[in-house]
Amino acid sequence: MSARGNFSSKMGFILAAAGSAVGLGNIWGFPYEVGQGGGAAFVVVYLIFCFILCYPVMVTEIAIGRKTQKNAVGAFNDLGLKKWNFIGKLGIFSGVLILSFYNVIAGWAFGYIFEMVAGNFAIADQFGTYIKDVVKVGSYGLVFMGVTAYVVSKGVSGGIEKAARILMPTLIIMMLIVAGYAMTLPNAMDGLKFYLIPDFSKLTASVVYNAMGQAFFSLSLGMGALITYGSYVNKSDNIVASAALITLTDVGIALLAGLMIFPLIGFMSGGTMEGAARGPGLIFVTLPQIFGTIGGGLGIMTGTLFFVLLCFAALTSTVSLLEVPIAYVVDEWKIKRTRAAWMVALTIFIIGIPSLIGNGYSEFFSTAFTTYKDGGKDTDFLSFVAALANDTILPLGGFLISFFAAHIWKKHNLDEELAQGAPNYKGSFVQKYLNFAIGYFAPIVLAIVFILTVLFKFFGIQIL
Ligand code: TRP
């Protein structure tokens, strides 16, 4: 359609956007957040956020992108509302931050492929040592960033779409198999109870903030990633329906990851669920153990395949994260895509070095970040950046985007765009709900969550 490139089909866009959404956030992040957030109560809050709050924001981002066919900053200029393009700039900033630490974790996952191939299931007990070996995991990270840059340099339909098409379905099948196997193990039911039967006494303010941050992160919202992907969507596609499918896929895969991990923790803890709140190391410790219990060639095969697929899921996400700044510099600064991809990727890798070395290697970056959360508990740099980007800037971005769409760009313009490709949209319940959600519900809730999060996480002031 245009020289910028387009997704070659409706399915291509859905797959690429779902590929962006489905990633480490679902398989690594979601289970550990559930574990720390006390189990099913977190899941309930998370689901509510995803459907009633995040879905409308997703629709809005895609609509802004498709309307303008521009990157996250150019989109605001194109609507004639240049003053507001700081929203896009904030998005690019948070995208850079997110990719800088995300790639570190992707590097760990990438390295696990080789550990599995070697049958080294004992890596589960050596995870702390593994991530301290910064030359090794750093090299894995560098390779991962390189592959990301390569895919992005090939443009939208060439690289991004093709990869997502095969890998997503395979991942789902693989996860179903692992979850099925996990449930046959002794004490699996204790894990399921923890995961699925809510105990609302565990619902604290920080559980709610984290659920919000996790929902935004997992759905790739609040930083213009979907404005950017939306800019490659055809005018005949149905945005409202596509966004619903993307949300369902993403939530479904997160839930599936929980079905895999929690029965496993039930099994390994003998039913006490000890270790569920371990935090970011969770899947890196539990999963190799299960592949170890399978054992032998079959254990090696499933373990390897699992981490291969996890890396592909992470790759379709890193690609979308990198695509945001790249689309910007290609459109606005007229830099060649290939060159931009490699230069920006390298810069982001360098920005990620403190996150890489802050897991035991560098004392300073592992513990020096004390002002944030839980009354000054020591925090590593990676967790600090994640809290800053995911739990703080993404909700802020979501607030700004929904406020902008409803009150500056105006609802009727948003409706016009959404009606294209969706003949039944006008007058529907969905339209009414989206108008309410984007106009009032989302901006108000997101503004409140943003303010409370900043006060709580960074100043230790708890109001609610
Ligand atoms: N959603 C991805 C995940 O769950 C991460 C991600 C990719 C992302 N693109 C994004 C998060 C844009 C926020 C914004 O792993």
Is the Cβ atom of 321 under 6 angstroms away from ligand 1?
Answer: yes
DSSP state of 426: T
Is the Cβ atom of 98 under 6 angstroms away from ligand 1?
Answer: yes
Is the Cβ atom of 341 under 6 angstroms away from ligand 1?
Answer: no
**Total-model pTM:** 0.91
pLDDT in tens, 120-165: 999 999 999 999 999 999 999 999 999 999 989 987 666 667 777 7
Distance in Å, CA 216 to ligand 1 centroid: 8
440 by DSSP, 3-state: which? helix
pLDDT band at 302 (very low <50, low <70, confident <90, very high): confident
Is the Cβ atom of 257 under 6 angstroms away from ligand 1?
Answer: no
- Residue nearest to ligand 1 atom 10, measured at CA: 220
pLDDT in tens, 308-362: 989 989 998 999 999 999 999 998 999 999 999 999 999 999 999 999 988 888 8
CB atoms within 10 A of CB 432: 10
Is the Cβ atom of 6 under 6 angstroms away from ligand 1?
Answer: no
* CA–CA gap between residue 194 and residue 365 (Å, rounded): 33
Is the Cβ atom of 224 under 6 angstroms away from ligand 1?
Answer: no
Q: What does the pLDDT average to over 27-50?
A: 94
pLDDT in tens, 207-243: 888 898 899 999 999 999 999 989 888 899 999 999 9
DSSP secondary structure letters along 105-147: HHHHHHHHHHHHHTT-GGGGGGHHHHHH-HHHHHHHHHHHHHH
pLDDT in tens, 157-211: 666 677 777 777 888 888 898 899 889 999 999 999 999 999 989 888 888 888 9
Amino acid at 134: V
* CA–CA gap between residue 236 and residue 258 (Å, rounded): 36
Domains and CATH numbers, the chain: 10-459 (1.20.1740)
Which of ligand 1's atoms lies nearest the C-alpha of 26? 4
